[in-house]
Structure 1
């Protein structure tokens, strides 16, 4: 039983690491893709936008259908589409072809990432659910500072197309492994009436994640430019700062999983959201402090992603009968928040400069905390509506 648990956690971790790499590796590859197709970086950036929009729009459907039909086949289907999408990306003869392939990739990842979270929540012991989710979340976060640089390194030696073809190969292997790993997983029964009754509660709950994402990405999207402008950081110093941030995110996620088992998902998610608002104020005060910024960035990521992981565990516990739906909507809320955060950050930078970003982010974290303090009424369980 213990070996089976370790295998499933390992499979979930590696799968989410690959999904994260597929998302984060595009950014360092953009200059080379722009050069090959003779287009601007701004236009090439639509690779990320189309992926994110497709993911956000389709993830709730896959979460809902997996609650009704089971998750194993949709994870396997998603990985098969992932293989096809990355082959098409790697072989794309035109930019239009490339954009189409990234739309397919967004659809594929939408049927994988939230369902991996959900199926881990299904199989984890109730007192270890937070720890299990934190482990697989760390796989996705690891791609932020490990997967993307490795992809950039491969591009240097073999070209950007090889990066996507290599991910397609890994996806094909993982499709087989996932199909086997999630064999004999019982499907959680759910009913249409219960979903209708809980939908308002689910949307209200995931709004916490959307505003949390605004608090993180309003600043993070412009972090490199802000460090260069306010601290006169070199490119290597900016890279070091981002790496330290990424390490803090992974440690925060893993630490959160350990302490939620002791204190509970609800308490940890509330405490970390409150701390996040405070840390961002401190970050604003010390943003141009030179070397101290490294430590504060580490603490920011540590607290921020501890909050994200513990809140996912809270949703998995609160919506046990509709875990796939809730976690899929949570991922959609995450992408909406990231998009809004980048828009807000752009407006703030254009009108007031970089120094105000941490305080705007702190305000968003405070709003997320206050919303998270209140829980909407729970609808009747399935047995009561039958």
Structure 2
């Protein structure tokens, strides 16, 4: 079990690091490739676009295939496409290779969340999910510093380094992961998107995924503008803002590793309610704090809550229909990236219109409140509690 937990941690760490890797490189690549400022963000957006689009396809396909082969193939392609980014000669080649990296990640990462409930006993799922989530949190904390350090020698080195690491993880997948063939082979061919019908036809699923969208939209709307806010409000340099992000990433790690113990003490419903209420209050007071230390301290709690709540939400979503966990995981990831794009866009408009972070904080608070209400009224929490009682008896 330790071997599989380590493997899943590394998969999420490598993919997460690549996601955040390009952020510190944008000014360098913009100058190198002569890219206008208004287009430079697409070097990040192309990755999210590839992920969001193909996650919808990857999930249904993976439910009918051996998950080990899907993850192995996805990780190898991820390794190759990431290393190709280091060979990019201009904007469009970088756009293409980043897009392909996002597509590869869309086939790889959702398999982790679909495999955990199948490979681990029920009482271990929350703990393992928290450790795996810590891999993503660690990439958030260390991705930007690692990228900056490697890029100080040459801008391509971060891509080659992560690509090589991804290839080593692929070897680990080949030797450590058991075959995971589908439980049932469909008698007749069905369209990819017909696999989503059980979710679309379920009121519980629709409301739960809406709650997931609002949660991610609120978090990433505020997250996208942390750097700009601390620069505008506290006059921090780019390097100093990076240290702020590093500290906040540690909060995510703390929440991920300690989440199972919190859930055990409070239960899932109370954990969700308390965490959301704390975050809502934090988002409202953040813009009015007098110092960067106070800002970091309060935002640290938000990231701790993110580390606890995110794997909890994914666990709830995967409980909707155990037969299509790959579809559920891919849809959840696709929604997350769509929410990231939408939330960042709306937050940018609000930040410019109201000249500050106050309105963005209120937007995040409203999204979290809507998410909590949607989770409660979906009935997924009550159903999860009932399932646990039946399992215990």
CA deviation map 1:252-297 (0-9, x unaligned): 12222333345544442343223322222232442x4443112101
Q: Does 1:308 align with 2:310?
A: yes
CA deviation map 1:117-166 (0-9, x unaligned): 21123212111211111111110121112122112101112x12122122
- Contact 2:9–2:133 (8 Å) recurs in 1: yes
- Contact 2:33–2:89 (8 Å) recurs in 1: no
- Contact 1:281–1:358 (8 Å) recurs in 2: yes
After TM superposition, the runs of 4+ consecutive aligned structure 1 residues lying more than 6 A away are 190-194
Q: Which of the numbers 260, 263, 279 marks the counterpart of 1:257? A: 260
Partner of 2:281: 278
CA distance in 2, matches of 1:186, 1:127: 24
Partner of 2:389: none
Say which is worse superposed, 195-204 or 345-354, in terms of deviation: 195-204
Q: Which of the numbers 18, 23, 29 marks the counterpart of 2:19? A: 23
- Contact 1:270–1:372 (8 Å) recurs in 2: no
CA distance in 1, matches of 2:353, 2:234: 20
Partner of 1:245: 248
Once the two structures are TM-superposed, the CA of residue 330 in structure 1 deviates from its matched residue by: 0.8
Partner of 2:229: 226
User: How has the CA–CA distance of structure 1 residues 130 and 83 changed in structure 2, closer, same or farther, with 3 Å as cutoff?
Assistant: same
Q: Does 1:374 align with 2:388?
A: no
CA distance in 1, matches of 2:74, 2:360: 37
| Pairing 1:90-105 to 2, within 5 Å after superposition | 90-105=86-101
- Contact 2:144–2:242 (8 Å) recurs in 1: no
User: How has the CA–CA distance of structure 1 residues 344 and 176 changed in structure 2, closer, same or farther, with 3 Å as cutoff?
Assistant: same
Q: Which of the numbers 297, 301, 305 marks the counterpart of 1:295? A: 297
| Pairing 1:152-191 to 2, within 5 Å after superposition | 152-157=148-153, 159-185=154-180, 187-189=182-184
Partner of 1:338: 340
Partner of 1:136: 132
Gaps of 5+ in 1: 379-386
- Contact 2:60–2:195 (8 Å) recurs in 1: no
User: How has the CA–CA distance of structure 1 residues 276 and 197 changed in structure 2, closer, same or farther, with 3 Å as cutoff?
Assistant: same
- Contact 2:252–2:303 (8 Å) recurs in 1: yes
Say which is worse superposed, 262-271 or 357-366, in terms of deviation: 262-271
CA distance in 2, matches of 1:358, 1:245: 17
Q: Report how many residues are paired.
A: 372
Once the two structures are TM-superposed, the CA of residue 234 in structure 1 deviates from its matched residue by: 4.2
Gaps of 5+ in 2: 384-393
